[in-house]
A and B are shown apart, each in its own frame.
Chain A
Amino acid sequence: DSGVTQTPKHLITATGQRVTLRCSPRSGDLSVYWYQQSLDQGLQFLIQYYNGEERAKGNILERFSAQQFPDLHSELNLSSLELGDSALYFCASSRIWEGTEAFFGQGTRLTVV
C-alpha cells in the first residue's frame, strides 16, 4: 500500500459528461501529480501541484482541470468527455517537488461510452 488513495477505482460514463477524480496523498506529502495512462500514449504527465499551487503542466487538455485543496487532497476534473479519454488516471505524491520519489495510487479506470 503506497498510502496514496484514489477514488473511485472505476468509472463508466457517457460522452459529453463531466467527472471528478479524487486523490488523497500520503500523509505529509506536499506535491501531487496526475498522469494519464493509455495503451497508445503510454504514461502522460498531466499536471503537478505543490502545497496548493500549480507547479508544472504537461499534456493536459483544456477540457481537463485540477486543483489541490488546503488539506492537500487533489481533484482532477474531466469535462466534455470523449471516447478517447478512456484511460487509467493515476495520482502520485511526494514529499517535496524535486529529487524525491513519487508514490502512486492504484488509479481510476475511466471508461467513456
Chain B
Amino acid sequence: AQSVAQPEDQVNVAEGNPLTVKCTYSVSGNPYLFWYVQYPNRGLQFLLKYITGDNLVKGSYGFEAEFNKSQTSFHLKKPSALVSDSALYFCAIEYSGAGSYQLTFGKGTKLSVIP
C-alpha cells in the first residue's frame, strides 16, 4: 500500500532563512507526488507536483521540491522564508495502480516563520 510520512509536526524558521519541510514516501510503483498548503480556516491549495522527468520541481510562491528516488523523499524547499509562508503543509502521494487509485496525504507539518 502506498503511504507518505512527514516526520516533523512543526518546523520553525527565521524570516529570510531557507526552509525545508520533509516528506518520505512508500510505494511499489512509480508515484505521483504533490505538496499542498493550508492556511487557517481555508481549504488546501496546490503548490507543486512531481509526475516524471526533472527531479527538481518548481511551484507556486517560490517553493520547489526535490524528488529523490533512492531516498524515497520529496522535500519541500524555499530559499528565503516569508512570514506569510506560515501555514500547514501537506505532502501527498497518488499511486497509479491497476483499478485502484487514491490521493493519500501525510499528517501535515506546521511551518512557523519567525519575524
Give chain A's interface residues, CB within 8 Å of chain B. 2, 4, 33, 35, 42-43, 45, 48, 55-56, 58, 90, 92, 97-99, 101-107
Contacts and interface: CB of A to CB of B under 8 A. Distances in A.
A33 to B, nearest CB: 7
B101 A2 contact: no
* A-B residue pairs, 5 tightest by C-beta: A104-B43, A101-B46, A42-B107, A43-B105, A56-B102
B100 to A, nearest CB: 6
A45 B101 contact: no
B44 A90 contact: yes
B51 interface: yes
A55 to B, nearest CB: 6
Given A98-B94, A98-B96, A99-B32, A42 B108 contact: yes
B32 to A, nearest CB: 5
Q: Does more than half of chain B's interface fall in helix, strand or loop, or is it mixed? A: strand
B20 interface: no
24 contacts: A4-B43, A35-B105, A42-B106, A42-B108, A43-B44, A43-B90, A43-B105, A43-B107, A43-B108, A45-B102, A45-B104, A48-B101, A48-B102, A56-B101, A58-B102, A58-B104, A97-B101, A98-B94, A99-B51, A99-B94, A104-B43, A104-B45, A106-B43, A107-B43
